Structure 1
Amino acid sequence: MAATARMGALWLLGQVLAEGRLLSELTGSAQHLKLDPAERARAQRLALETLRGLEKADRVLKPYLRKMPPLAVRNVLRLATVELCQGGDAHGVVNDAVDYVRRGKRTGAYGGMVNAVLRKVAVEGAAKWAELRVPHLPKWLRQPLAEAWGGDAVAAMEAVHFAGAPLDLTVKQDAASWAERLGGEALPSGSVRLTAPGQVSALPGFDSGDWWVQDAAAAMPVRGLGDVLGRAVLDMCAAPGGKTLQLAAGGAQVTALDISEGRLARVHENLTRTGLEAEVVAADALEYDGGPFDAIVLDAPCSATGTIRRHPDLPLVQRGEAIGGLIELQAAMIDRALALLKPGGRLIYCTCSLLPDEGECQVDEALVRHDGLRVLPEAFDLPGVAPEWRSAEGGLRLRPDYWAARGGMDGFYMACLTR
């Protein structure tokens, strides 16, 4: 039987929900690559929609299940329920689900049950779906976010998470022209946003390297350096390379550093596609001894809690246990970056986290540890930056619910430091 997008989506769901693997680890795997590019993109979209709607799907299904079926069967029901409740063709969705279950050695006996349940969902599910609340973040994350930003803000973030994310591009030049050509919107910050992009590699400008995929929030930290032409800049945790490409496109002499040779393969691919140049180095940032540099961008390893609108699998796989170790690593990386920076140089510290301990608190503590260190709030006097994004210590705090009417943005923290 030929692989289909629904089969691919079910494999992805199984890997996330049974094996605890992140989708970002799976999309280049041999199993995923069995599908042609268009079906692969559809499989990923179906899996993302199901993960976003998991709480709703389970609540729709619950009245029809006398006892909980095995996870593999439950995932078939979840995927089909999300499709049905969002207007999918009942005949095709139900038939594919039943056929898939009946073909499995361990799931074949559940074919009749799946058929009966989904036929009820096809009739009644959409109305129930519409009445259910927006899915909540898990308690391990929702509670600290509510303490930091308030319950209303968290609810607004959850609404943006559930809606999903548009596709943002950073272009080499003339964002307005590319927005018009691609049928998108030129955002105030300079990114191009597409709401229904389809297959990314088929879009005009991909093969010619005129742009790269990068969330609008993730594109802002580098802009805080201003003109980088001819300057020696270290991208300290470079993979997958969006900030390296920004720096190289601005004419910087870029060193792209990352501890993972596997992840640096993406940096090499992106540099080749865009025709940009950087020195790519695989090394531990805490042991790296290059420089000194005119500027450093440190997008530090973090909980990635700001990226859930694009990665709904993240809170299902992680439980917050590693955050303490990440906070220690971030502090050590700030200290190392300052040692590699020329006097008067600029360090952009940023994380794609919604937790103040990984952002504002890190900068407050760095200011205590390092005499003469100061924050440059004016570095982010940039187009599109709203006053409410400014944080007390002089950085920027971005949240998913900002620009909600436009599709939101990743949660991000950034600050420009110098001494």
Structure 2
Amino acid sequence: MPDLPRPPSDRRPPAPVPGLAARALATAAIDGVLSRGEALEEAFEGARLEPRDLGLARMIAGVSMRRYGSIGHLLEGLMAKGMPRKSGPLEAILITAAAQILFLDVPDHAAVDLAVRLARADDRAQAFSGLANAVLRKLAAEKAERLAAVPADADTPSWLMGRWRRAYGEDRAHAITAAQRTEPALDLSVKADAAGWAARLGGRVLPTGSVRLAGHGAIPALEGFGEGAWWVQDAAAALPARLLGPVAGLAVADLCAAPGGKTAQLAAAGAAVTAVDRSEVRLTRLADNLKRLGLQAEIVAADLLAWPGGTFDAVLLDAPCSATGTIRRHPDVAWAKAAHDIAALADLQRRMLAKAAGMVKPGGLLVYCTCSLEPEEGEEQVAAFLARNPAFQRVPVTAAEIGGLAEAVTPAGDLRTLPSLLPDPDPAMAGLDGFFAARLRRVG
């Protein structure tokens, strides 16, 4: 007798577990940072999640890295034998779950349950799902007293904290680390009418002229994005280009230009900008942003040290650096760098600064800047350059040029912003990225 066709099955695949996809993405992001040294943001590029889940994943991953030192300290105290070897993403699963339990408004049982599900779903971590359950439940039950015992500077690597104590003193070092624990607000540079755009977007105008938003959804959905009225740029990152003064009609080189915030500033001010960067991918984004903004610049994909270049009325060099001033926005930086990286970067900066200096016309300006808190990449770099190059003189920065932030002007006349500047009752609305900038003029 021939087989009869089977009736169609009414069985349906199980419904997705709410919130699991967001936790999985956050865990993958943290695992990428810890296991492969990837940048935290890379995990979210091209992620196919609903906006709400994507936002939650970013929040969990961001808090996990901002409080990584505290979380690690607590997990170490709860795991007598340490993290099991060959356990795959178990560490990342525990870190992201602990971040939710300790620092986010997430029900403890949800954080524990979803972490256990993630462990069971991985071939390497599933054998330790019971351990994950026990550790996280104990953490949830004792979080208040355990968190109170965590050292105040646990969220900054000890080698980095030691450097900041020496450079800035004990009080300012602690203020820097405190500022870096809070996710910062969104800063915008606007082409015109900062006060008007602040009112439309529910933000406020900072003393420096940037617009800071108290809260926001997806950036492309904000009013003014599509029409190119503004671009995202930390308030501190917007200051170095302003040190060039009026640039309308001048030929200006923006070296190491991507992602392009400074290029946009200069082009919007009327300069003929040549934007140079070695990364073609990042330059594609720069070009897309300029198109959206209705601005123009000559874009050059080249290694600065090998580029024949030319001469310009003004040159802005935003040199590659340790980026320790951006930890509040990129918390993985604190744990991705090591002390030896700074010496290597300082040597690269020295060579780039010499190259940039050769492009400045007599009487022209050179602004050198880095988003680093390390003196070797800032004050010491410029002092050594001036000692070698008598053809250049420092043009001191004034408080009036940077919104009255007198505390951001060094005794030598350079710009030095710290994450702890611009205090506010709401920590999310306070602070700046850490930046250094010096303005130099070629004599003659």
Q: One fold, TM greater than 0.5?
A: yes
Q: State the partner residue of 2:367.
A: 348
Compute the displacement of 1:47 (Å). 0.6
Residues 155/216 of structure 1: CA separation in 2 closer, same or farther (3 Å cut): same
Q: State the partner residue of 1:98.
A: 116
Partners of 1:284 and 1:383 in 2: CA distance = 31
Q: In the alignment, which of 198, 217, 223 is matched to residue 236 of structure 2?
A: 217
SS in 2 for 1:397: strand
Contact 1:5 1:43 in 2 (8 A): yes
Q: State the partner residue of 1:330.
A: 349
Partners of 2:113 and 2:351 in 1: CA distance = 55
Contact 2:239 2:402 in 1 (8 A): no
* Comparing 2-11 and 206-215, the one that deviates more: 2-11
Compute the displacement of 1:302 (Å). 1.0
Deviation string, structure 1 residues 331-352 (Cα, Å, up to 9, x no partner)? 2222221211111111111111
TM-score by length of 1: 0.93
Compute the displacement of 1:185 (Å). 1.8
Contact 1:373 1:417 in 2 (8 A): yes
Deviation string, structure 1 residues 55-75 (Cα, Å, up to 9, x no partner)? 222333344333223362222
Partners of 2:420 and 2:44 in 1: CA distance = 27
Q: State the partner residue of 1:129.
A: 147
Q: In the alignment, which of 201, 213, 216 is matched to residue 220 of structure 2?
A: 201
Partners of 1:353 and 1:20 in 2: CA distance = 20
Deviation string, structure 1 residues 311-361 (Cα, Å, up to 9, x no partner)? 111121121322222212212222221211111111111111111111111
Contact 1:255 1:279 in 2 (8 A): yes
Compute the displacement of 1:123 (Å). 2.9
Contact 2:187 2:212 in 1 (8 A): yes
Matched, 1:312 2:331: yes
* 1:139-150 correspondence runs (5 A): 139-150=158-169
Partners of 2:238 and 2:97 in 1: CA distance = 36
5+ residue gaps, structure 1? none
SS in 2 for 1:215: coil
Q: In the alignment, which of 1, 9, 15 is matched to residue 32 of structure 2?
A: 15
Contact 2:399 2:406 in 1 (8 A): no
TM-score by length of 2: 0.88
Compute the displacement of 1:287 (Å). 2.7
Partners of 1:122 and 1:322 in 2: CA distance = 37
SS in 1 for 2:361: strand
Q: State the partner residue of 1:276.
A: 295
5+ residue gaps, structure 2? 1-15
Partners of 1:18 and 1:51 in 2: CA distance = 14
* Comparing 223-232 and 350-359, the one that deviates more: 223-232
One-letter code aligned to 2:202 = G
**Identity across matched positions, percent:** 44
Residues 36/276 of structure 1: CA separation in 2 closer, same or farther (3 Å cut): farther
Compute the displacement of 1:365 (Å). 1.4
Compute the displacement of 1:290 (Å). 3.2
Q: In the alignment, which of 312, 316, 338 is matched to residue 293 of structure 1?
A: 312
Contact 1:145 1:154 in 2 (8 A): yes
Contact 1:146 1:154 in 2 (8 A): yes
Matched, 1:418 2:436: no
Contact 2:66 2:155 in 1 (8 A): no
Contact 2:398 2:413 in 1 (8 A): no
Compute the displacement of 1:215 (Å). 0.7
SS in 2 for 1:255: strand
Q: State the partner residue of 2:11.
A: none
Deviation string, structure 1 residues 102-128 (Cα, Å, up to 9, x no partner)? 111111122223223323333321453
Between structure 1 and structure 2, the one with the greater Rg is: 2
Deviation string, structure 1 residues 22-61 (Cα, Å, up to 9, x no partner)? 2244442xxx523244433332221110111122223333
RMSD (Å) for aligned C-alpha atoms: 2.0
Q: State the partner residue of 2:47.
A: 33
Partners of 2:160 and 2:78 in 1: CA distance = 30
Q: State the partner residue of 2:253.
A: 234
Partners of 1:159 and 1:130 in 2: CA distance = 15
Q: In the alignment, which of 393, 401, 406 is matched to residue 412 of structure 2?
A: 393
Partners of 1:415 and 1:250 in 2: CA distance = 20
One-letter code aligned to 2:143 = G
Residues 154/175 of structure 1: CA separation in 2 closer, same or farther (3 Å cut): same
